[in-house]
Amino acid sequence: MTAVLTRRPGLRGIRAAGSPLHLICLAFVVLVTTAALLAPWLVPYDPNVVDLGSALAGTSADHPLGVDAAGRDTLSRLLLGARTSLLGPLGVVVFATLAGVAVGTVAAWRGGWLDSLLSRGTELVFAFPGMLLAILIIAVYGEGLLAPVIALAIAYLPYVSRLTRSLVLAERARPYVSAHLVQGHSAVQICLRHVLPNIAPVVLAQATINFGYALMDLAGLSFLGLGVPPLTPDWGRMVFDGQTAVQHGYPLSAVLPCVLIVLTVVAFNVVGERWADRVARRDR
């Protein structure tokens, strides 16, 4: 009897469609990402120029969104702050996804004592709060974007690893894997050419959701003064710096970054959940 090699549709099986809410969120994600990429050419003022003479001057033709307590243009800081606010979560998601997929694939494929060892290791990371780990690493290495990104990536890794492990176990039980093994293909070839492309839609959907949560966590660290340096435009840092303006009746410099953080997190979660739902319906 001849074995028939079959492959699941992978990424090509996911077609672009969605509800109005999904399309609105997708458009918002594209808009924020585009603004972050083009921010250096869009900002009307240097976001770090301090003008105490115009501090808390409110909105005007020159400053449509007003200025903060240090006289810095709010619109300029929002645009450039989008770069930092999106770059950090991107680093978290990329590192956590790559490492988590590697750990989960090895654990599922090899099994035995190696699977048990890796599973116990991820459980230990689960038991340690990600934010506390980030605070500890920042306390050792100082403020900046790299330390919290590494800490949160380690904290997010177990989620990706567990998901990947379950997906790879399901894929390994499929007939096409046995057929390739009989034909002499190595485990590395089968995983890279077939297994990983087949599980990619689910992993990428989870990565999209993780991006929103990572953005919220990093913004929280910046609000606490543990993220980016004070002069770096960042949405979380802007909320922290805008507290003085709120007390004086000029809330825009603090409220606007809050709104952007919430909308961006919700948009990424909706897009990720929609993608995950379409993958689930495809696999039924």
**Distance in angstroms (rounded) separating the CA atoms of residues 259 and 37:** 20
Question: Other CB atoms closer than 10 Å to residue 63's CB: what's the count?
Answer: 20
State mean pLDDT over 206-218: 90
**Distance in angstroms (rounded) separating the CA atoms of residues 23 and 173:** 36
Q: Are 88 and 220 in contact (CB under 8 A)?
A: no
**Distance in angstroms (rounded) separating the CA atoms of residues 115 and 98:** 18
State mean pLDDT over 61-87: 82
Provide the terminal-to-terminal Cα distance of the chain, rounded to the nearest Å: 28
Q: What is the pLDDT of residues 221-234, one digit of tens each?
A: 888 878 777 778 88
DSSP secondary structure letters along 114-131? HHHHHHHHHHHHHTS-HH
- Reduced to 3 states (helix: H, G, I; strand: E, B; else coil), residue 73 is strand
Most confident of the ranges 6-15, 27-36, 163-172, 251-260: 27-36
Q: Are 214 and 41 in contact (CB under 8 A)?
A: no
* 248 or 205, higher pLDDT: 205
The DSSP code for 251 is: -
Q: What is the pLDDT of residues 112-147, one digit of tens each?
A: 788 788 888 887 887 777 778 788 887 777 777 888
Q: What is the pLDDT of residues 256-265, one digit of tens each?
A: 899 999 999 9
Find residue 73's DSSP bridge partners: 67
Percentage of the chain surpassing pLDDT 90?
Answer: 17
Structure confidence at residue 182 as a pLDDT band (50, 70, 90) = confident
Structure confidence at residue 13 as a pLDDT band (50, 70, 90) = very low
**Distance in angstroms (rounded) separating the CA atoms of residues 147 and 33:** 23
DSSP secondary structure letters along 122-174? HHHHHTS-HHHHHHHHHHHH-SSSHHHHHHHHHHHHHHHHHHHHHHHHHHHTS
Torsional sign, CA 112, 115, 116, 117: positive
**Whether the predicted pLDDT of 16 surpasses 90:** no
For residue 225, give the nearest of 238, 239, 237 by alpha carbon. 237
Give all strands (DSSP E) within the chain, no chain letters.
none
Q: Are 162 and 125 in contact (CB under 8 A)?
A: no
pLDDT at residue number 92: 93
**Whether the predicted pLDDT of 59 surpasses 80:** no
pLDDT at residue number 27: 92
State mean pLDDT over 250-271: 88
Structure confidence at residue 283 as a pLDDT band (50, 70, 90) = low
pLDDT at residue number 279: 67
State mean pLDDT over 157-178: 86
**Distance in angstroms (rounded) separating the CA atoms of residues 134 and 151:** 5
State mean pLDDT over 91-118: 88
Q: What is the dihedral of CA 244, 246, 43, 52, to 10 degrees?
A: -40
State mean pLDDT over 192-202: 85
What's the mean pLDDT when you consider all of the chain? 81
Structure confidence at residue 5 as a pLDDT band (50, 70, 90) = very low
Q: Are 90 and 97 in contact (CB under 8 A)?
A: no
**Whether the predicted pLDDT of 14 surpasses 60:** no
**Distance in angstroms (rounded) separating the CA atoms of residues 32 and 211:** 14
Structure tokens at 157: 């890794």
pLDDT at residue number 40: 87
* 217 or 253, higher pLDDT: 217
pLDDT at residue number 244: 76
